Amino acid sequence: MRRRALALALALPAVLAGCASASSGTHAAAGAPRLSVTGAYIPLPSMPDMAAGYFVLHNDGDKAATLTGVTSPGAQSVSMHQSTASTMVDLPTVQVPAHGTVTFARGGRHLMLMGLDPAPKVGARVELNLRFDDAAPVTVQATVQPLTYQPGQ
């Protein structure tokens, strides 16, 4: 019986994140995600205990990012959900491709905010803090809109 030497060639991809920049704000190193949020709103909920949140998340950078969660100082908890035909499921993370856009909108991905305090009123703003595993957090003010509000294109 012969012993065979297995030559394992481990081709490890170079996944070095070039996040050497300590600057905050809009500056980002080349090859990093560049994230921004537009159109954040919360339809006025019929019950103050539970509201949906919608927004468009942009990544103008050369590197993908992963949204790992959202928090709000105005809510007890915030979850990321995906609506399906009959129910909705938790989204543990959401991928934001390089030079891509991810939309949270009615009938699809959405935030579910529980325990809003103070109770939302039309025109009020609710701070949302988006956290990423590989990029700086993004804070946005979501405007409480009438229930029938439709975002413009």
> Smallest distance, Å, CB 7 to Cu ion?
51
Listed ranges 60-68, 112-120, 121-129, 134-142: which one lies at the site for Cu ion (CB under 5 A): 112-120
Give the residue among 113, 142, 110, 139 at the shortest CA–CA distance from 125: 142
**How many CB atoms within 10 Å of residue 83?**
15
Handedness of CA 140, 143, 148, 152 (dihedral sign): negative
Residues contacting Cu ion: total by CB under 5 A: 3
Q: Is the Cβ of residue 56 or residue 112 nearer to Cu ion in the bound state? A: 112
x/- contact string, 45-84, with Cu ion (CB under 5 A)? Answer: ------------------------------------x---
| Rounded distance between C-alpha atoms, residue 53 and residue 85, angstroms | 19
Give the residue among 129, 102, 113 at the shortest CA–CA distance from 43: 113
Residues 81-110 that bind Cu ion (CB under 5 A): 81, 88
Among 19, 29, 102, 112, binds Cu ion (CB under 5 A): 112
The residue ranges that bind Cu ion (CB under 5 A) are 81, 88, 112
